[in-house]
Structure 1
Amino acid sequence: MRRILVTGARGQLGSQLLRCAEDEGLEASGVGSAELDITDRDAVDRWVEPDAVVINCAAYTAVDDAESDEAAARAVNEVGARNLAAACSRAGASLIQVSTDYVFSGDRAGGTAVPHETDDPTGPRSVYGRTKLAGERAVHAELPSAQIVRTAWVYTGTYGGPAGTGADFVATMLRLERERDTVRVIDDQVSSPTYSVDLAVGLIELARTGGRGVTTLHATNAGSASRFDLARAVFAEVGADPERVRPCSTGELAKPAARPAYSVLSSRSWAAAGLTPLRPWRDALTDALARLG
């Protein structure tokens, strides 16, 4: 197994990757934005070593902020990804680029709920989605053998940053359960909630095995749920009445960035790569919340 370098290592997925690699006895190191600015091509070249496997978790993920700051989102999500791919190409290293369900529009003809395959037409509806898709294309232009892994609705259930900033959806629901009698949650956005620990295990397996050379993959916990379903499940897991979660539409809680209405990702590519399927999302949520105590 070659050495693993995780970029974006201070985020929820990057930090889990380092823990997972350590648990498996693998040689891995991680860098956050303070150590490596991936928009700096020369700096990237200094970090990427021959025969390494780079897993890029660095991303501009502030979906709503990106609508008014496209330059910043593009710098990290497209230019930074391109820099890493080019550096890997020059060094003879491999690259796994983490991407998102937001590259899809989420609109299904006739309202059919059919999970997205890797070769389905894309059509991002937000700046975040467009810059992540541009990053995918830039990576494959520089390094055709690079592996793009799209995922969705990643959570750990804990807060990150000062004063609880950077909390994921599950962490936010846990906080709101404590603070409010009722909570309104969108019921017309559907995807696959994905536990960061499970995703990290899957990415390490991909780094170890090479995934039979499959270059675009989807990796999420199995099954699908709306935001409303997920919130109710969180309440139920902590012994709270799920009826305290009330449904509302996307339009009622309008935000600057448009979200895909249906962005469930098919696991067919993951299976084709010979990789272990991720467990059902509800089982993963139970485990995640049990670990939080």
Structure 2
Amino acid sequence: MVSSSGSPRVDAESDYMRARRHQVLSALAARLRNDTEDVQAMSFDEVVAALGRRGEHYVGTKVIPLDAIVGSVDKARDFDRRFRPTSRTSRERWERLARASRTGEVIPPIDVYQIGDYYFVRDGHHRVSVARSLGVDLIEARVTAIETFLAPVGIDDRADLELKYWRRIMLQRVPFTGEARAAVAVDEPTDYGVIAETVEAWATRTMHAEGAYMDKQTMAKRWYAEEFKPVVKMIEEAGVRGDDERPAAAYLRIAGERYRLIREHEWNAEVMAAVSKGRRKRRRPDTTR
């Protein structure tokens, strides 16, 4: 419960100072952890750029949880992840809204964009900030839902957004579906670009050999079935997949090693033996130091 002195003005001033103090302490702790992104409000534009925008539709006015509001359309630097003000520039406005909330004045709904389970404030940043400071759990909002190319899950910080961005680029170039879409996943963002180039190069060689054109959908299906799955199986059987290494990451690593050693694009038992032998040599400890 938020305490009350009986004076809405004094209480609003205390509310503001408490919110600023918590923001400063949280930012300091994050800096000491070298994890400043953990406290920054997310940028709507950055999220949409990463996931890809397909369309939008107006949902209407509804009550939404304040904890689900994670970012802003245009004021991501003015408030932290918990919507505490990051500077004193809007103190007067903030305290005016706090007084209005404490005295029971009607506060108009905020405007938000919804992406999955996340909400981003278009208008009403100070109303969100005050409500959170006063311990409110829900807030009324006019909601516009954004449809995205990638599913809006697992986007808690900018590192997640970078991974999503590169995955989206890959899937737009190579439209994997179903099992393939789930299997071709990596942890290094730029590896998605390498996968896209690898698939396109494979398709070019295949079309040249067959004398026939294949569209993007066919390219994605055939590469997964004729190249990726058989090679991953060979990698598993040869025992050259690293601990906790994703299948797609193992494929990229072994494919690069294969070409480095023999300058070929073929896969067979001899190739895997050469790769395995080369891997063992590189792992041999250096006894000359």
- Structure number with the bigger relative contact order (C-alpha 8 A, sep ≥ 6) is 1
TM range (shorter): under 0.3
TM-score, length-scaled by structure 2: 0.20
Higher helix share: 2
